[in-house]
Chains A and B, each alone.
Chain A
Amino acid sequence: MSTDMSVVSLQLGQCGNQIGHELFSVISDDSSGPNRKYKQCSDERFFYETSTGGLVARSVLVDMEPKVISQAIAKASKSGRWRYGDKAHFSQKQGSGNNWANGFCVHGPHHEEAVEDLVRMEMERCDRLAGIFTMMSVAGGTGSGVGTYITQRLRDLYPNSFILNQVTWPYGAGEVIVQNYNSVLTLSHLYQLSDAILVHENDTVHKICSRLMNIKHISISDVNKVIAHQLASVLQPAYTADSTCHYSTNPIGELLSSLVCHPEYKLLSLCNIPQMSSTSLAYSVFNWPGLLKHLRQMLIASTRMEEGIDWTVSSPSAVTSGGEGATNSRHKSFNLSLANLLILRGKDVSTAVTDGFKDPALYVPWLKTENSFSTWTSPVAFNGYEKSATLVSNSQSLLKPLDSIVRKAWNMFASRAYIHQYTKFGISEEDFLDSFTAVEQIISSYTHL
């Protein structure tokens, strides 16, 4: 009988705190339904029990201004099912002003001790630590700047712990004008510190809300709920290859070993189907072959939502030796993967046939296919969906949005716009150039797979 490992979460900045709260809500709701087989495991993973019997999230909330944290704490308490620790948050009076330099060079160092103390408290509370899971956006000042600084500190303090960073990329047509600068600075630094970076894009999630879930008036909360649903589908207990008769006790470690084979490639994307409004859900029936076929096409055509899938993209015919032949016969939009992790939850999951994902043509030739593809399963229906499938991918699918971010940031940098706002706080033009180089390197690595 193995003891379950626990995940310590870190919610950073406005976005990180909003998503964090939704995540714990989804996890708690999902585990608490009738006939929930993994409640105990899930509770141990994400919560701890107080002497009065209430569940408290293993989470530290950090923001430079207090409004969002107060809201998250209040909403959690209202749920009656779980809450945040009374002292497990840190905030200041004044935000980082959307300025990465302010977050990284000023606020981060100023408050590092206080935040580290809070994280240490949570870590010491765990019997066994599965890893650190952080949530932040890359567009603003606190999540991105302070978040990166804290990640750096945690990496120094806990060199042997897994660190998984969930990041949210903003809408392409802006939310913050300097978002592209902040994104480049964040990603270049995180890449050296993190074990893996799990990416959500607001544009994609927004489309899921509007086209698949038919939400007429989409709010930030709707977007965050979808992200939380996707994250929970990965983090909730499941049976894995290493752990077939009891729920895996090392979820983050196994995730990383399935997907991140080489430190140069650590960008992960998520797809989850089906996603639809609860009214449609009542009338829909799913079968595994259908779901898996769609998911596979979404992977190779690089669509991260179940609509507008390009079915003309196909994998090259089976290639045995790889190399030249494979590259030439690949459709130009074909998305090459390094590794994929399929997580299937729901009824009759044992009947699901996943061979479509084992096709070597989907993967880079220099990795053995058996190392590139893994499946996790759970017979328990997840969050209201009788059957659901999640694909976590390490592939080229984030290339286009990443390239777009860098292109816009570079054009802005060429005119030196807004640079004075960063140099004021200690980030020089040299620092910018270093960051651009680092991210171009990431792009190059993935392009030349």
Chain B
Amino acid sequence: MTQSIVVQVGQCGNQVGCRFWDLVLREHAHVNQMGVYDEALSSFFRNVDQRCHCLVPNITENQVYLCACLQAVLVDMEEGVLAEILQGPLRSLFSSTQLISDVSGSGNNWAVGHHTYGLVYREQIVDQVRKAAEHCDCLQCFFLIHSMGGGTGSGLGTFVLKLLEDEFPEVCRIVTSVYPTAEDDVITSPYNSVLAMKELTEHADCVLPVDNQSLVDIVGKIQHMSNTGKLGCAIKKDCTIISGQGGVVKVEKPFDAMNNIVANLLLNITSSARFEGSLNMDLNEIAMNLVPFPRLHYLVSSLTPLYTLADVNIPPRRLDQMFSDAFSKEHQLIRADPKHNLYLACALMLRGNVQLSDLRRNIERLRPTLPFVPWNQEGWKTSLCSVPPVCHTHSLLALANNTCVKSTFFELRECFVKLYRRKAHLHHYLAVDGMELAEFNEALSSISALIEEYTHLESPLMPNAPRLTIAT
């Protein structure tokens, strides 16, 4: 069993991260009735000495875990979010040294996050990560969670990314990045995002971009379904997807529903590595299968089904619907339409009561409708994990490397250029020690080159290269 370490940076990163811990605990509690520290738990938690005096929160009435401690490092340059965590019910899962914080925040300035705080906290962050890594038998993956639009998550987060690559080059780095919407209230978010993009392109193995707008839409859809109360669409009360009900954190806060979705994404990606199944998929297989060219590592994700239906026995039609939904643009976690762009590769990660034949039938069915790049016409990676998410009988996570991401990057670049042309707000960045104008230019070329690479793949290729011939 391999271990992963989560590094959550910034306000968004920490909120999503905490939601994730909540869900993971609940999932393991559901599966692991005895509350014993088992292999599956070891992927994210380490077992602490039994003499440790901190109590672990009760997940449901009868279950208490042995003392477990998260393999995580929590970073924020403002006190608010971390302070809440320290007082919240998850507090006993962290030791205070795992939290690295400062007081004044980054002021939505990438340069402050990256250069100023990066310099100051470098040692401390490396120390904490190293400590967590030492406790791991076999460290496979770092999960970095942050947002792109602000200052800490974006600036310090990408600094940490580079650091992880320098200190632990062999360990896979999977980054979950929350991209700002076009109407984001942070004016300089395009600067922050594009500056961060360059780092992601160069230092991450795999990026899972998530768009706030898409999350809002999806949450809205779920609320709508539950409010209209359609027959057969009743949403089970403690469904994992949008509510934390039944979890440790009881109070719902404004972004909670959206954060829940992102947390579910992480939950499902790691499910096959944590639990058993007939067709396992390890985390290192994600990059191997879905990243054909090193820089093109941005994966579009979709989670289905979002709603638990009241029916218990799901006839095949509903199951097939889950597969179809996975490719519809309404279910994607970024605003993109993969069906009308080109697929480079696609992974289907199934959980729960889904058989091989269901999977094969649906691949056969959907293949003709999805445009794949000519050199990877049947590029599917599949995995089956037998443990479903709590309250569902089955679920599907689809991860695709699709050229539709370029539209997100294109828009981002347009917003960036609009500001940059006028040199708006630049002085805030250039005033920071270590920040230079050249960085802006480099970031701009990086994202332009990336868009170009994706576009290039869409152009009609030369006819298939002739095969080698053997002299007879």
Whether A219 lies near B378 (C-beta < 8 A) is no
| Cα distance, A97 to B2, chains bound together (Å) | 12
| Cα distance, A328 to B376, chains bound together (Å) | 37
Measured between beta carbons, the chain A residues less than 8 angstroms from B360 are 171, 173, 206, 218
Which residue of the partner chain A has the closest CB to B293? A417
Whether A174 lies near B293 (C-beta < 8 A) is no
Measured between beta carbons, the chain A residues less than 8 angstroms from B378 are 172-174, 408
Q: Which of B372-414 contact A (CB under 8 A)?
A: 374-382, 384
| Nearest CB of chain B from residue A391's CB, rounded to whole Å | 26
| Nearest CB of chain B from residue A242's CB, rounded to whole Å | 36
Most buried by B among A97, A177, A221: A177
Measured between beta carbons, the chain B residues less than 8 angstroms from A215 are 357
| Cα distance, A312 to B185, chains bound together (Å) | 72
Knowing A411-B464, A421-B291 touch, does A95 contact B345 (C-beta < 8 A)?
no
Whether A414 lies near B465 (C-beta < 8 A) is yes
Which of B121-129, B282-290, B417-425 faces chain A? B282-290
Does A244 have its Cβ within 8 Å of any Cβ on chain B? no
Q: Which of B338-360 contact A (CB under 8 A)?
A: 344-345, 347, 355-358, 360
Interface size on B, residues (CB 8 A): 49
| Cα distance, A408 to B347, chains bound together (Å) | 18
Most buried by B among A66, A174, A216, A437: A174
Whether A175 lies near B375 (C-beta < 8 A) is no
- Range of interface residues on chain A? 35 or more
Does A178 have its Cβ within 8 Å of any Cβ on chain B? yes
Within 8 Å by CB of A174, from B279, B381, B465, B467, lies B381
Within 8 Å by CB of B467, from A18, A173, A223, A406, lies A406
Whether A98 lies near B285 (C-beta < 8 A) is yes
Measured between beta carbons, the chain A residues less than 8 angstroms from B276 are 67, 71
Whether A420 lies near B285 (C-beta < 8 A) is no
Measured between beta carbons, the chain B residues less than 8 angstroms from A420 are 293-294
| Nearest CB of chain A from residue B169's CB, rounded to whole Å | 11
Within 8 Å by CB of A219, from B278, B464, B470, lies B278
Within 8 Å by CB of B138, from A93, A223, A417, A448, lies A93
Does B364 have its Cβ within 8 Å of any Cβ on chain A? yes
1/0 per residue, CB under 8 A from B, across A405-449: the answer is 011101110111110110000000000000011001101100010
Measured between beta carbons, the chain A residues less than 8 angstroms from B376 are 177, 412, 417
1/0 per residue, CB under 8 A from A, across B449-468: the answer is 00000000000010011011
| Cα distance, A420 to B380, chains bound together (Å) | 19
Measured between beta carbons, the chain B residues less than 8 angstroms from A219 are 278, 355-357
| Nearest CB of chain A from residue B425's CB, rounded to whole Å | 38
Does A14 have its Cβ within 8 Å of any Cβ on chain B? yes
| Cα distance, A178 to B355, chains bound together (Å) | 23
Q: Which of B426-472 contact A (CB under 8 A)?
A: 461, 464-465, 467-470, 472
| Nearest CB of chain B from residue A449's CB, rounded to whole Å | 12
Measured between beta carbons, the chain A residues less than 8 angstroms from B138 are 92-94
User: Can you sample 18 A-B contacts with CB below 8 Å?
Assistant: A94-B2, A98-B289, A172-B378, A173-B360, A174-B378, A174-B379, A175-B279, A175-B382, A177-B289, A177-B379, A178-B289, A206-B356, A209-B357, A220-B356, A417-B375, A421-B287, A440-B469, A441-B470
Name A residues whose Cβ lies closer than 8 Å to a Cβ of B.
Answer: 14, 18, 65-68, 71, 92-95, 97-99, 141, 171-178, 206, 209-210, 215-223, 406-408, 410-412, 414-418, 420-421, 436-437, 440-441, 443-444, 448
What are the 8 closest A-B residue pairs judged by CB atoms, nearest first?
Answer: A97-B284, A93-B138, A417-B292, A218-B357, A174-B380, A414-B465, A220-B278, A444-B470
